[in-house]
Amino acid sequence: MAARLPTFAKAHQLRPGIALSPAQVAQLTSDMVWLVAQTVTLPGKDGDPGTTIT
């Protein structure tokens, strides 16, 4: 499957870091791990504003 992933990704317009649409998920024929970029803000300590990780 890993060797076929680039072809599958191009054929189904998948872009790393971008969440799959419901239509793209419906086209999957097997399980896969898909990483999606997300911004997370960690709480600060003692009144500090915290840290944002993108």
What's the pLDDT at 22?
Answer: 93
Q: pLDDT tens-digit profile of 28-45? A: 888 888 888 888 888 888
The amino acid at 5: L
Backbone angles phi, psi at 15, to 5 degrees: -125, 125
Domains in the chain: boundaries: 2-53
pLDDT digits (tens, 9 = 90+) for 10-21: 887 888 889 999
42 three-state secondary structure: strand
